[in-house]
Amino acid sequence: MSDYLTEEEFLKNYDSSIYDKLSMTTDILILSVSSKDSNNYRKTDKKMMSILLVKRDDYPYKDKWCLPGGFLNPKTETLEDCTKRVLKRETNLEDIYLEQLYTFDRIDRDPRMRVISTAYVALIDKNELKQDVKNASWFDITLIEEKDGVVFLVLDNGTETISFEVNKVLRNKITDRYDYISNKNNMLAFDHDVVIVSGIEKIKEKVNSSDIVFNMMPEYFTLGELQQVYEVLLGKKLIDAPFRRIIASKVEKTEKMKTGEGHRPSYLFKYKTQK
Amino acid sequence: MSDYLTEEEFLKNYDSSIYDKLSMTTDILILSVSSKDSNNYRKTDKKMMSILLVKRDDYPYKDKWCLPGGFLNPKTETLEDCTKRVLKRETNLEDIYLEQLYTFDRIDRDPRMRVISTAYVALIDKNELKQDVKNASWFDITLIEEKDGVVFLVLDNGTETISFEVNKVLRNKITDRYDYISNKNNMLAFDHDVVIVSGIEKIKEKVNSSDIVFNMMPEYFTLGELQQVYEVLLGKKLIDAPFRRIIASKVEKTEKMKTGEGHRPSYLFKYKTQK
DNA sequence: CCAATAGTGTCTGTGAGACAGTATAAG
DNA sequence: CTTATACTGTCTCACAGACACTATTGG
């Protein structure tokens, strides 16, 4: 039948209602690095990875914490437009590092109806955030990967502690990607436990092969601070000399110094944009 | 208002029609390695990466080539279910390597209506495919990345040649991910030019850090054949000795030999599953 | 002076890159 | 015997890992 139509005619007569439809949302992992005050005036602050969560004020999952997110307007928005809109609403930030993480589509992930959600990761320097967002809070992340494929995660915002477990199962005989499956979680809304774990793992994977770390740094930083952020993301201690050799090509020394720390002052560096 | 409802009551009364909805599809990059006959009886066949495309038999983009794909049934399917259904329909294959690539969501990517598509990559050993699929054809891939961020791609199935250009633009000051933007393409349907380029680049990135290559190998293979597949995917010649040292831990020598090639026969190897 | 971090010099071991050399089949 | 690939031995060089040593501040 359509053989006798031109493409223009076909589109004019097309009835888009013949296919079942669904709603989409985006969820954002807004990640940053926080500093935990040391009591000793000499010692540097302990750094941790942290994530911004909001408390749901309506059903479903009323009063549970969840990732910032929102419904896509299919008529006007791309998923990234939607993500930026949410990000602006929650943090008032624009022009920041944003990367599509994964599209989560478990059939029963939203009890209201079928909703598929594309998750994005945003990396920010938390200190640029002046504004305090109501119903939102930064949680420090402690991630413990156990041997038998269980990831145990603890989120702490100072007054509340959220903990949950996610199973990592190989999706293929030929070792590569994992599926993340919710194990124990009654503190986070939706499937956001799984979203958070896979997002954190993805960022960790990319630390060594890219410069994404600098998205979480202020304009000027000491190499010690930079090393600490790498250490937090990689989850291990680095040795000074080789670390400095490796990042030497990525940073630019300035004349500025950081003083008043109870020990030898250090030079401030900038990220070197050019390759 | 909802403060006075329980979660159960809330869900019962929930009207899902208040949000605008849309359709989703999945598209699959089915990638494999093909052999080009050498005329010399001694020489080994030249290997190339190849991709399975189907010819559209209806509007829009009637008679253009495109990736195999289909509409998601939101009531019953996950995106991966949908992908497997299409894969089974096109190739009759099950239980193969499948990885979610990216969700493509340009507003005008489908002229009929708003459709968001999640692309998957499937890696297969083409020789396991007995069945010839009507309207489908394998295209050998030639990818030329030019310096100024333009990727030029040529697909050839022996009788037809498809070529197009895609621009790669940095999405961030801090060098990391790229956005792929269609440049010159009037031979492929939808935004599948961009989907193909980003899929191929993703697979190339993973060659060195994972074992995905073995998904494209038969059960028994020579190290020469394996090396050729690595060379094709990486786009460069590898030196024998170090290559063999590196993959030694991933393969298992068998007693079988491959003979009749006009030169010294070689041992056949298997993928070693255990870590 | 002490404690803590800043920053540098250098040794060592690993492993990729390079290349040469030997082995062995078909024609 | 020739040709082309199979397979191994070994040298080199770059570089991460490790550690020691010096520098410099606030208290």
pLDDT digits (tens, 9 = 90+) for B100-143: 999 999 999 999 999 999 999 999 998 888 777 778 999 999 99
Tokens of B240: 């024998």
Residue entry with tokens 């993805």:
A202
- What does the alpha-carbon distance between residue A83 and residue A65 come to, in Å, rounded to a whole number? 18
pLDDT at B180: 94
pLDDT at A4: 65
pLDDT in tens, B40-98: 999 999 999 999 999 998 889 999 999 999 999 999 999 999 999 999 999 999 889 99
Say yes or no to pLDDT of B1 above 60: no
Q: How far is CA B48 from the centre of its chain?
A: 14
Residue B41 is given by DSSP the state S
The percent of residues in chain B predicted with pLDDT above 70, rounded, is 93
3-state SS, residue A67: coil
pLDDT in tens, B14-47: 666 666 899 999 999 999 999 988 889 999 999 9
pLDDT at A167: 95
Q: How far is the CA of B240 from the C1' of C21 (A)?
A: 14
Do the chains contact at A175 and B211, CB–CB below 8 Å?
yes
Given CB atoms, is A71 within the 8 Å cutoff of chain B? yes
Do the chains contact at A100 and B97, CB–CB below 8 Å?
no
Q: What angle do CA A66, A67, A73 make, to 5 degrees?
A: 115
pLDDT at A12: 73
Tokens of A251: 């940073």
Q: Which residues 46-65 of B have a C-beta within 8 angstroms of A? A: 58-62
- What does the alpha-carbon distance between residue A161 and residue B49 come to, in Å, rounded to a whole number? 50
Confidence tier at B4 by pLDDT (50, 70, 90): low
- What does the alpha-carbon distance between residue B22 and residue B10 come to, in Å, rounded to a whole number? 24
pLDDT in tens, B198-246: 999 999 999 999 999 999 999 999 999 999 999 999 999 999 999 999 9
Full-model pTM:
0.93
> Which residues lie below 8 Å from residue B218, measured CB to CB, with a gap of 6+?
B125, B127, B128
CB of A259 under 7 A from strand D?
Answer: yes
pLDDT at B46: 92
Q: Which helix (H) or strand (E) holds A76?
A: none
- What does the alpha-carbon distance between residue B242 and residue B223 come to, in Å, rounded to a whole number? 12
Tokens of B45: 């066949």
Confidence tier at B2 by pLDDT (50, 70, 90): very low
CA distances from B146 to B109, B115, B150, B152, B238 (A): 26, 31, 5, 7, 22
Do the chains contact at B210 and A175, CB–CB below 8 Å?
yes
Contact assessment for residue A213 and residue A200, using Cβ atoms and an 8 Å cutoff: no
Within 13 Å, how many C-alpha atoms sit on residue A273's CB side?
4
Say yes or no to pLDDT of B13 above 80: no
Residues 208-227 of B with CB under 7 A from strand D: 222-225
Given CB atoms, is A208 within the 8 Å cutoff of chain B? no
Nearest to A174 among B58, B62, B215 (CB): B215
Q: Any idea which nucleotide's C1' is nearest the CA of B262?
A: C26
Contact assessment for residue B117 and residue B104, using Cβ atoms and an 8 Å cutoff: yes
β pairing state of B46-55 and B23-36: antiparallel
CA distances from A199 to A104, A229, B120 (A): 12, 17, 19
> Which residues lie below 8 Å from residue A263, measured CB to CB, with a gap of 6+?
A42
- What does the alpha-carbon distance between residue B181 and residue B191 come to, in Å, rounded to a whole number? 9
Q: How far is CA B187 from the centre of its chain?
A: 19
pLDDT at A76: 94
Q: Which helix (H) or strand (E) holds A180?
A: strand A178-184
pLDDT at B243: 96
Q: Any idea which nucleotide's C1' is nearest the CA of B243?
A: C16
Question: For chain A, which ranges sit under pLDDT 70?
Answer: 1-5, 10-11, 15-19, 175, 274-275
Contact assessment for residue A218 and residue A125, using Cβ atoms and an 8 Å cutoff: yes
Nucleotides of C under 7 A from a protein CB: 3-10, 15-20, 23-27
- What does the alpha-carbon distance between residue A30 and residue A68 come to, in Å, rounded to a whole number? 8
pLDDT at B18: 63
pLDDT at B16: 64
- Residues paired with residue A23 on neighbouring β-strands, in sequence order: A115
- What does the alpha-carbon distance between residue A242 and residue A230 come to, in Å, rounded to a whole number? 13
Q: Any idea which nucleotide's C1' is nearest the CA of A241?
A: C8
